[in-house]
């Protein structure tokens, strides 16, 4: 809404600026159709959304949802798949709600649905990205991680959920005060911005943690102490394809969050929010592409070690070939890249063939109780 174009004489004398803002918000909130008194320019979006591109996004997110569920169910990667599917489903609801806005931008239910769904959905998708670092560390060399791999989900997932809650609170404040208190709407907007900024901080922290680990692995892989199985996994084309897909998804979500900060910083109905091309590219495609990457390049087919752990999380005695945890997860972390690291990385071959032959019974004793426990 452009307050400067309104005639001050339409307001009762003695009204302060806050009362005028509330009256204007209440007036426009009562609009239900585009008319001379309720022009499309006065809507939050300020334009008629493009029907074709929104149908395209809805179909794309629907396809990503189905793909994630089908491939994830086959390999039983429930948590990873569940968060991707939930995020894609929210995006589907959001862009599905934008389709009615192409006929009537004053459709309040459609607008509220799309704004909530599209803002919150990437937060769920991020959780799937956060889950991958733990399994990459366990499969390559847990000792190289500065944090115990099992702690990564307990660090990043709660932080991500806190971003979700802050944004949800902001949306609730804005929606509840839409007709009565314009200042409270602005507070809700600031709360949403704070949630997105926090999400960028968490994403940056995750990117720094993952990048640090990858650099340490690269150095270790090229050293004589490197585990042959880890080297084989590192050079495996499928595994690298999965890593590239996760990296691409991470980059897309980060770009989208940065765009959302700029979009929301100017308040509801600012010039960035009313620019549809930037929304299509920096919001729509920057989330659709990550969803497709995460759904299609599923760990069940490209990173079986991760899939094996997720389908049987209680079987800590599984060997690396089966994707299970190794004794290295229980060892304290070491700072160097020496021979001790080779032992703590779970490389049984480094202990020598003699030990392998002497202790078949003890190995079985480790696996068997855990197998019964998981059953």
Q: Is 36 helix (H, G, I), strand (E, B) or coil?
A: coil
Q: 121: domain CATH number?
A: 1.20.1070
Structure tokens at 137: 């560390």
Express each pLDDT in 355-365 by its tens digit: 444 444 444 33
What pLDDT score does 333 carry?
A: 44
Kindly state whether residue 353 falls inside one of the protein's structural domains.
Answer: no
Kindly state whether residue 265 falls inside one of the protein's structural domains.
Answer: yes
Kindly state whether residue 155 falls inside one of the protein's structural domains.
Answer: yes
Kindly state whether residue 13 falls inside one of the protein's structural domains.
Answer: no
Kindly state whether residue 341 falls inside one of the protein's structural domains.
Answer: no
Backbone angles phi, psi at 370, to 5 degrees: -65, -35
Closest to 114 (Cα-Cα) out of 101, 123, 127, 130: 101
First-to-final CA distance of the chain: 61
Closest to 244 (Cα-Cα) out of 307, 296, 321: 296
- Given a cut of 80, is residue 40 above it in pLDDT? yes
Express each pLDDT in 187-211 by its tens digit: 888 898 999 999 999 999 999 999 9
pLDDT band at 366 (very low <50, low <70, confident <90, very high): very low
Above pLDDT 70, what percent of the chain? 73
Q: Which residue has the higher pLDDT, 262 or 329?
A: 262
Kindly state whether residue 361 falls inside one of the protein's structural domains.
Answer: no
Express each pLDDT in 71-117 by its tens digit: 999 999 999 999 999 999 999 999 999 999 999 999 989 998 998 89
Dist. CA 195–CA 260, nearest whole Å:
11
- Given a cut of 60, is residue 368 above it in pLDDT? no
- Given a cut of 90, is residue 28 above it in pLDDT? no
- Tell me the average pLDDT across 113-122: 92
What pLDDT score does 179 carry?
A: 54
Kindly state whether residue 7 falls inside one of the protein's structural domains.
Answer: no
Above pLDDT 90, what percent of the chain? 60
How many separate domains does the chain show?
1
Express each pLDDT in 126-183 by its tens digit: 999 999 999 999 999 999 999 999 999 999 999 999 998 998 888 888 766 555 666 7
What pLDDT score does 342 carry?
A: 41
Closest to 285 (Cα-Cα) out of 53, 100, 50: 53
- Tell me the average pLDDT across 249-262: 96
Asked if residue 105 lies in contact with residue 47, where contact means CB atoms within 8 angstroms, the answer is yes
Asked if residue 72 lies in contact with residue 300, where contact means CB atoms within 8 angstroms, the answer is yes
Domain that holds residue 118: 49-311
Q: What is the DSSP string of 278-337?
A: HHIIIIIIHHHHHHHHHHHS-HHHH-HHHHHHHHSTT-TT--GGGT---GGGGSPP-SS-
Kindly state whether residue 203 falls inside one of the protein's structural domains.
Answer: yes
What mean pLDDT is reported for the chain? 81
Structure tokens at 209: 């943690």
- Given a cut of 60, is residue 295 above it in pLDDT? yes
């Amino acid at each position: 809404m452009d307050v400067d174009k309104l005639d001050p004489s339409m307001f009762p004398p003695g009204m302060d600026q806050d009362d005028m803002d509330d009256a204007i918000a209440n007036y426009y909130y009562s609009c239900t159709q585009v008319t001379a008194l309720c022009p499309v320019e006065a809507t939050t979006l300020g334009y008629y959304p493009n029907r074709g591109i929104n149908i395209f996004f809805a179909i794309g997110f629907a396809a990503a949802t189905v793909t994630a569920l089908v491939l994830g169910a086959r390999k039983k990667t429930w948590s990873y798949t569940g968060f991707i599917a939930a995020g894609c489903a929210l995006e589907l609801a959001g862009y599905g709600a934008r389709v009615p806005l192409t006929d009537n931008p004053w459709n309040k239910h459609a607008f509220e649905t799309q704004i909530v769904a599209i803002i919150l959905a990437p937060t769920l998708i991020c959780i799937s990205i956060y889950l991958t670092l733990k399994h990459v560390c366990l499969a390559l060399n847990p000792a190289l991680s500065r944090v115990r791999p099992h702690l990564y989900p307990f660090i990043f997932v709660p932080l991500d959920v806190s971003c979700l809650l802050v944004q949800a609170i902001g949306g609730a404040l804005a929606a509840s005060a839409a007709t009565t208190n314009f200042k409270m709407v602005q507070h809700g907007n600031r709360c949403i911005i704070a949630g997105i900024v926090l999400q960028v901080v968490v994403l940056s922290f995750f990117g720094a943690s993952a990048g640090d680990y990858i650099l340490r692995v690269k150095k270790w892989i090229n050293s004589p102490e490197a585990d042959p199985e880890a080297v084989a996994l590192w050079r495996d084309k499928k595994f690298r394809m999965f890593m590239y897909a996760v990296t691409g998804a991470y980059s897309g979500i980060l770009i989208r969050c940065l765009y959302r900060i700029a979009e929301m910083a100017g308040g509801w109905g600012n010039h960035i929010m009313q620019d549809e091309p930037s929304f299509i590219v920096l919001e729509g495609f920057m989330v659709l592409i990550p969803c497709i990457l995460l759904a299609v390049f599923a760990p069940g087919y490209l990173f079986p070690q991760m899939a094996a752990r997720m389908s049987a999380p209680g079987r800590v005695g599984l060997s690396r070939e089966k994707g299970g945890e190794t004794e290295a997860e229980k060892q304290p972390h070491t700072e160097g890249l020496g021979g001790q690291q080779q032992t703590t990385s779970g490389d049984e071959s480094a202990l020598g063939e003699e030990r392998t032959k002497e202790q078949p019974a003890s190995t079985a004793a480790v696996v068997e109780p855990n197998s019964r426990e998981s059953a």
